[in-house]
Structure 1
Amino acid sequence: MKVGDIMTTDLVCVKESDLMTHARQVLRDNHLHGLPVLNDNGSVLGMLDDQDILRIKSNKSDVTVRGYIRETPLITPETDVREAAKLLLQARQHRCAVVRSSTDRTIVGIISDKDILRNAHISKMEPKTISCIMNTRVLTAYPDDSIAKIWGNMLEWDFSGIPVISHEDEAMGIITRSDIIKAGFARIRDRSGDMHSTGSGDSPKVERLMSTPLYSISPETTISKAIEALNHHDVGRICVTNDKKIVGLVDRFTMLKECVEGFGYL
């Protein structure tokens, strides 16, 4: 299977000279997590990630996209999907612009970990359970934590989403980069390094923006069923719970690695 068979061709891009505040609006309006960045000739320079968008602290800024461009692997429509998956994993990127050829950097599509997982041969996977690969060190937030603090922690730890739990440690929901960007909060006040500090200032609370319900699976869920759950709910990560308590977390990167390492899954 080639990248050209599964890539997204409905393209929304920005130019390197565009303001970051404009790029943030484009992401928000189109419900996207990243944008290809082009030069004035229409050639791909790299990608802009929603993590970069979160670094802009003001609604009025003359900062341009140019300083935030992330270099991306060279992927063309003829690249094998398995090779594209390896390149995304090596670059630690969730999506990449697809260019016409190694000599023509004109954009023709976008390939993402979501596209690849939706086309993986998960029915062939071994019946290994998610408990074998899940991350058991899950940092969480409380519903009364401030968005300012959670925003800061997302930047510091490079998290795209943080599960939200009650003060009785029961799973409630999740707060993601997209939730913050879509809500239009663009300015950070003070924050504490403690993930469960209450924060300060007039920043809204997590409970106002968090997504519910929290999609979850049990530790006995097979990896193939976990991938099905990610695809079905269209989420980048899913929590593993036991008796309403979060005991682990798996994301698309972890699943993609399993598909790459398994013979015949891609």
Structure 2
Amino acid sequence: MLCKQPKTLAHEAQLAQRANEIGLSASVLSASQVASLEPELTLDVCGGVHFHDDGHLNPSLVMQELARDLDVRHETEVKSFERRGDRVVSVNIGNERIEADEFVIATGSWSGDVAKQLGVELPMQAGKGYSMTLQSPPQLPRTSCLLVEARVAMTPMGSTLRFAGTMEIGGVDDTINPKRVQGIQESIPRYLPAFSKTFAGANTQAQPIWTGRRPVSPDGLPYVGRFAHLDNVISASGHAMLGLSLGPATGMLVRNILANKRQPFDIALLKPDRFA
């Protein structure tokens, strides 16, 4: 967590204290201590917080590895479901009918639309975010960082560097808002002066922009659990900006549901029918 303002650092220090109280490891750092952790970076910050338990990954590589053990149908739309009473017996995708004993809705910001086909409400908004990946960054950090006041994440991925940010609520829409992108690009050199030429003039327009939609529930909690009136349908969606972080834990919860195992904690607050 990189902070430009002392008041921001003070606020983050309070969060670090709370993190330590619940068993996480976090240290409040001065500007010189931050620089010692990231010697390859030229930084303009007053300090930061280091969460020692945090990590980062390349989501593309993770998905490639996961796909090795899955039967993946790319660009496939769920057309309808076949039900017998309170059980779903099959899903129709295009011209194909797939039968299964259990069904898990884990379709991100489309989960609400998929659930409607089963006659259940799963309130969901799409929270659009933007990212750009620099193939030849002028400097490369050793670990992922959050530019706190700018709300921009910076993640090294091999020799490339990804910047991402914003939360734009506006439905399922892939349109790129130039002002949102400009806001991200203008904020980066304030923390990282070496990137001033990277996002200046023609260089700014040369950076390819990616946009994706985060599934956001009304109360900010994910939907994890069985639907009350569907015996064999489970929801695993609505994780907003924490999809990768909460993915492994959600997988464990869904596994326990399928195996009729006791959960390590009460998941009643996550039930998918809570707004029905």
Structure 2 length normalisation: TM-score? Answer: 0.24
Give TM-score, length-normalised by structure 1. Answer: 0.25
Look at both structures and tell me which one has the larger radius of gyration over its CA atoms. 2
Which one has a larger percent strand, Structure 1 or Structure 2? Answer: 2
